[in-house]
């Protein structure tokens, strides 16, 4: 891969009100985790809804359960690893469309809640896409609307949402997450030694929070080599 570009994207539930006021569970000893998306806040086609209740069996294996406020609502299932898609809107959609082309990287990370006795948040990479193409959400045909949260929504024709489709076999959800963050300087950030191994990020001091501007890898090819050296299988599925 030459002249590769890449963006780092925060996904999954978190402690913000829009993010669900909760965190997905992770076993920090094994790297196993449950991927739990943020809530859906927009009207969606009724036959395409993705309820949180689907996650109950997998969460039970981690000794946890959905909080009451999520148990009866629907997920904004994005990225959707079953279909290797990721959608976005607003400034982030514009950035993705302008920055990335086929062969570039979208790297997904999340703040996960450790199920081990020393309760803590684990900031970790949970998935990676090698981009195949980027399309507008409104252009998605009816028979493919179920493939992403943004096309499951009832969209106005003027909506500028985009959907990234990723390449098979080199994209997916990680079988085990890769811890990358620590708490320092009053925020969670990429650990300095890891950011050095990546060749740096565009944002200040490895800051790991949701933002309208996605951090860009200064040397995406170096990051990708670091990632491949972990030799973790990529799964085309949201949860086992």
Give, for all 240 residues of the chain, the pLDDT tens digit: 458 999 999 999 999 989 999 999 999 999 999 999 999 999 999 999 999 999 999 999 999 999 999 999 999 999 999 999 999 999 999 999 999 999 999 999 999 999 998 779 999 999 999 999 999 999 999 999 999 999 999 998 889 999 999 999 999 999 999 999 999 998 899 999 999 999 999 998 998 888 789 999 999 999 999 999 999 999 999 997
Tell which residue, 144, 166, 12, 169, has the closest CA to residue 100.
166
d(CA 34, CA 114): 11
Pairing of strands 181-184, 172-179: unpaired
Which region holds residue 64: left if phi is over 0, alpha if psi is between -120 and 50, else beta?
Answer: beta
For the chain, where are the alpha helices, taking DSSP H only?
56-61, 68-71, 90-99, 149-152, 192-198, 220-229
- pTM across the whole model: 0.96
For the chain, first and last CA: distance in Å? 31
Q: Which pair of structure tokens corresponds to residue 71?
A: 């148990």
């Amino acid at each position: 891969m030459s002249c590769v570009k890449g963006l780092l994207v925060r996904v999954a539930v978190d402690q913000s009100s829009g993010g669900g006021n909760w965190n997905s569970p992770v076993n920090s000893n094994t790297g196993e985790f449950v991927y739990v998306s943020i809530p859906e806040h927009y009207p969606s086609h009724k036959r395409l809804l993705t309820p949180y209740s689907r996650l109950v069996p997998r969460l039970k294996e981690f000794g946890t359960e959905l909080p009451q406020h999520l148990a009866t609502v629907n997920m904004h299932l994005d990225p959707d690893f079953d279909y290797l898609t990721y959608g976005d809107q607003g400034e982030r959609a514009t950035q993705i469309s302008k920055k990335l082309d086929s062969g570039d990287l979208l790297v997904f990370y999340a703040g996960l809640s450790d199920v081990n006795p020393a309760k803590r948040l684990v900031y970790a990479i949970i998935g990676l896409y090698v981009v195949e193409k980027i399309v507008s959400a409104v252009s998605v045909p009816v028979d493919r609307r179920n493939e992403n949260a943004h096309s499951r929504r009832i969209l106005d024709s003027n909506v500028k949402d985009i959907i990234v489709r990723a390449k098979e076999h080199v994209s997916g959800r990680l079988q085990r997450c890769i811890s990358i963050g620590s708490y320092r300087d009053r925020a969670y950030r990429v650990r300095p030694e890891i950011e050095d191994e990546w060749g740096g990020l565009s944002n200040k001091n490895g800051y790991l929070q949701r933002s309208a501007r996605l951090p860009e890898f200064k040397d995406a090819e170096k990051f990708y080599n670091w990632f491949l050296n972990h030799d973790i299988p990529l799964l085309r599925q949201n949860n086992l």
